[in-house]
């Protein structure tokens, strides 16, 4: 039988009860699955999913921001880990001591970008970016490991979180990253095509507005600088946050592979920066922390000296030279023997050892914050000439280290400068006839055997016989040519 309707008359609600609004039901919490960030190479969707998972699990100190869209309409996202916000002020008295006196809020209340802190204690932000080059997968996983350590294991790193604010961009170039994962593992640039050529892509680490003209303009190169500064959507997206947070940035770190080194500016010039001693101390602190963890040895020095080439238009030089951030470093992760994409078994090991070095460098940067005052720093040094070479083993264009005439610096530098290395003598190419004549002169002067170089020795046809003797000088005779 079908259910019958009730014949009871239902009276309509009248009076004040009719004007009352229905009770508000709180929205149901969405459960976002957590991808495995420590043992796998994640794609772009999984990286965004992990960032949403952290924002949902730790809403009181984790926020996610979309900086911009790429050519293929993928999001460039940043994660802010700020333990010193208003939601955590009641947790500890020490947090109130490090709380900022003034805060510059954005125009709307949804805060589409991190707030800018004003006051004496304004420089307390650490900025970490990775994934600028598409084929460097290990840098993306290392940045995700840093996010994991600061969020899911925040109780073990509470000492750093109480002093510093972290903003991490784990993947700057998602289009090139997905292309290298699916089609060409050696792809380096982004995927924006050029109208006037069949070649695709621009090196995002040559597209910043600092001595951009010194870069290479050949579109077929892996280090193509682009049509103009900030011509790529990835670099414009990163600049939008860097320019806004410039007064708050204390330490900038760019993750790459695979040089196993920690380097400081400059990349476009051989001249050392004014505070190169403090930057070297900062790099050596991370080097010693990694060595004490598993014995791996890192190299430290300036970018142009360790790479033996000039890098014009890089993000590190832009942050350090244009935005005047006190400390900026490049960390080349250790995968030289395994290439740009080490096996999956090495992801967790490289990520953990790199985090030990990064955490120690963040602590040292906080201690050095009052020793570096860049407001009265002189003008930038002159750029080095950019000449294309044969290339290095990684497929990158090698450039010469010849410097242009240095610009006159009016201010006197208090720190002693590093001695500039001597230029290597150029080897003059000689013809085959000239080489043959020089060999003949050497042969006549040293009376060597005809047809042989004086340094060479003629082969001995047979060795002389060896006769073994006993303790008293007499012993059994052995066959000729046999050593006893």
Q: What residue segments make up the domains of the chain, in order of their start?
A: 46-258+331-367
As a whole number of angstroms, the distance between CA 135 and CA 123 comes to 33
Fold of 46-258+331-367: Aminopeptidase (3.40.630)
As a whole number of angstroms, the distance between CA 346 and CA 10 comes to 70
Task: Give the tens place of pLDDT for each residue, 208-219.
Answer: 988 888 888 888
Identify the CA nearest to 257 among candidates 177, 338, 187, 145. Answer: 338
- Which ranges of 14-68 would DSSP assign to H, the alpha helix? 16-19, 44-57
Can you tell me whether residue 222 is helix, strand or coil? coil
Q: Which residues of the chain have pLDDT under 70?
A: 1-31, 85-121, 335-336, 374-379, 383-433, 435-436, 439, 442-484
Task: Give me the pLDDT at residue 334, please.
Answer: 85
Task: Give the tens place of pLDDT for each residue, 62-86.
Answer: 999 999 999 999 999 999 999 876 5
Query: Contact, 265 vs 141, CB < 8 A?
Result: no
Neighbouring CB atoms inside 10 A of 66's CB total: 13
The pair phi, psi for residue 68, each rounded to 5°, is 175, 180
Catalytically active residues are 332
Task: Give me the pLDDT at residue 20, please.
Answer: 57
Task: Give me the pLDDT at residue 268, please.
Answer: 84
């Amino acid at each position: 039988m079908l259910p019958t309707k009730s014949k009871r008359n239902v009276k309509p609600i009248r009076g004040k009860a009719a004007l009352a609004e229905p009770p508000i039901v709180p929205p149901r919490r969405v459960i976002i699955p957590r991808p495995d960030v420590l043992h796998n190479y994640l794609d772009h969707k999984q990286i965004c999913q992990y960032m949403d998972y952290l924002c949902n699990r730790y809403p009181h100190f984790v926020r996610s921001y979309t900086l911009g869209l790429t050519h293929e309409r993928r999001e460039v996202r940043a994660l802010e880990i700020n333990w010193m916000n208003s939601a955590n002020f009641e947790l500890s008295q020490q947090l109130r001591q490090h709380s900022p006196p003034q805060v510059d809020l954005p125009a709307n209340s949804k805060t589409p970008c991190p707030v800018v802190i004003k006051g004496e204690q304004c420089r307390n932000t650490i900025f970490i970016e990775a994934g600028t080059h598409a084929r460097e997968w290990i840098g993306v996983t290392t940045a995700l490991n840093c996010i994991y350590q600061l969020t899911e294991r925040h109780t073990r790193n509470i000492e750093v979180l109480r002093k510093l604010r972290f903003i991490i961009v784990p993947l700057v170039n998602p289009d090139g990253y997905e292309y290298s994962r699916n089609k060409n593992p050696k792809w380096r640039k982004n995927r924006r095509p050029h109208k006037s050529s069949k070649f695709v892509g621009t090196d995002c680490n040559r597209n910043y507005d600092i001595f951009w003209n010194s870069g290479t303009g050949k579109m077929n190169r892996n280090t193509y600088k682009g049509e103009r500064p900030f011509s790529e959507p990835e670099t414009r997206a990163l600049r939008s946050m860097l320019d806004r947070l410039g007064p708050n940035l204390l330490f900038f770190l760019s993750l790459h592979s695979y040089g196993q080194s920690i380097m400081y500016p400059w990349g476009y010039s051989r001249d050392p920066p004014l505070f190169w001693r403090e930057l070297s101390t900062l790099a050596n602190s991370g080097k010693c922390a990694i060595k004490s963890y598993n014995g791996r040895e890192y190299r430290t020095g300036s970018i142009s000296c360790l790479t033996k080439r000039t890098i014009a238009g890089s993000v590190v030089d832009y942050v350090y030279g244009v935005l005047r951030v006190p400390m900026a470093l490049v960390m080349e992760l250790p995968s030289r023997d395994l290439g740009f994409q080490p096996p999956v078994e090495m992801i967790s090991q490289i990520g953990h050892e790199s985090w030990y070095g990064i955490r120690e460098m963040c602590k040292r940067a906080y201690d050095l914050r009052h020793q570096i005052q860049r407001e009265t720093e002189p003008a930038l040094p002159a750029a080095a000439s950019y000449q294309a070479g044969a290339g290095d083993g990684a497929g990158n264009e090698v450039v010469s280290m010849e410097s242009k005439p240095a610009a006159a610096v009016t201010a006197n530098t208090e720190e002693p400068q590093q001695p500039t290395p001597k230029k290597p003598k150029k080897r003059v190419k000689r013809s085959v006839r000239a080489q043959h004549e020089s060999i003949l002169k050497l042969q006549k002067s040293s009376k060597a055997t005809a047809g042989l170089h004086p340094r060479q020795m003629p082969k001995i046809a047979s060795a002389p016989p060896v006769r073994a003797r006993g303790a008293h000088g007499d012993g059994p005779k052995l066959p000729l040519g046999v050593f006893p």
